[in-house]
Amino acid sequence: MKMKAICVVICAAIFGCGLTACKDEEARKQAAAAAMINNDDIDMTSEEEDAVEVVKAWTQARIEGDLEKANSYVEGFKCRAANEWQVRRARESASYKRELKSLKVIKIDMNATEDVAKIYYVLRQDDGDLKDEDITVSKIEGKWKIIK
């Protein structure tokens, strides 16, 4: 089931749904939702704070129609997300340390609405195994909170 979802996300990216420069209502809503997230109101890890900042900057760049700028935010987040993921896994298990050198982020998907901002990324190891991570920030009882 997870693989099916990954394929759908990848297909959407191939056809340009993910990072097209547009000035439509959806992009304005995404930027407004991202701007509502106040980092001071929620306890977040550095990775989660970074993810929230990327959502804000990425949606603003899309509204401005600057696809190159939007893509640069995604690329920067890919590198930081992969590093954070590697550090967490290395702490959890010594056996991961050898595997981590070969991890690569192969897909990242960002989306925000009035009530939720979500970042999802997929990591691929050289042996072909896929690992995925996601960060969701949601508005619960009027406050933005990280949902694990």
* Tens digits of residue pLDDT in 108-134: 555 556 666 666 666 666 666 666 666
Residue that wins the pLDDT comparison between 118 and 39: 118
For the stretch 55-92, pLDDT in tens is 667 767 777 777 787 777 666 666 665 566 555 555 55
Q: Is residue 124 part of a domain?
A: yes
Q: Is residue 5 part of a domain?
A: no
Q: Is residue 9 part of a domain?
A: no
Cα 70 from chain centroid (whole Å): 13
Domain coverage including residue 52: 22-147
Q: Is residue 105 part of a domain?
A: yes
The count of structural domains within the chain is: 1
- Check: CB of residue 131 under 8 Å from CB of residue 123: yes
Q: Is residue 30 part of a domain?
A: yes
Q: Is residue 13 part of a domain?
A: no
Q: Is residue 12 part of a domain?
A: no
